[in-house]
Chain A
Amino acid sequence: EDQVTQSPEALRLQEGESSSLNCSYTVSGLRGLFWYRQDPGKGPEFLFTLYSAGEEKEKERLKATLTKKESFLHITAPKPEDSATYLCAVHDTGGFKTIFGAGTRLFVKA
């Protein structure tokens, strides 16, 4: 069964304290792993797509990496405005549906 699991459920950081969020996935033939950011009461906003193991992408303080079984979202020197829920998702085996993890709620304190 296609599945996405994110950890931790919540993460509290001090401003400037770097950390990583984890996304482990089970799918037959990965056709894309996605990271989204969601602010409270808003729709998710696309951040990155990764397609193959070893691939990395960066945007400001965020860096996403991918292995054969998991992806990490590294946050370097976070700021309070990075506080949000980060969602990981993969395409299902058929390729038409996107399966989401439950998300990691990130709180960054000034």
Chain B
Amino acid sequence: EAGVAQSPRYKIIEKRQSVAFWCNPISGHATLYWYQQILGQGPKLLIQFQNNGVVDDSQLPKDRFSAERLKGVDSTLKIQPAKLEDSAVYLCASSFAETGILQVTDTQYFGPGTRLTVL
């Protein structure tokens, strides 16, 4: 079974530039998550989709971050404009979670992440 795919794996940009990340979840997984992981911290949920609808985006800095999952499959996360504090690993995960709620029997499968450095 193919895993969660993410691209690019690394990105270096200057502050105030824009950047976009792409995620392709495991086939058949209804729920897709974007996380931000700053060095030394646990992943922080930015946005969660169930199919192409948003379940939770309470921690997404909406003035600069946006995300979409138009056809309920692939997703993109964009930062515009980037700030120094956005330097982090951006992880995409997917789970079967039909209801959008992660049950104890569900597993989140993570992609390899995109390591973003903002200079």
Our verdict on whether A and B bind, yes or no, reads no
Chain A residues with CB under 8 Å of chain B are none
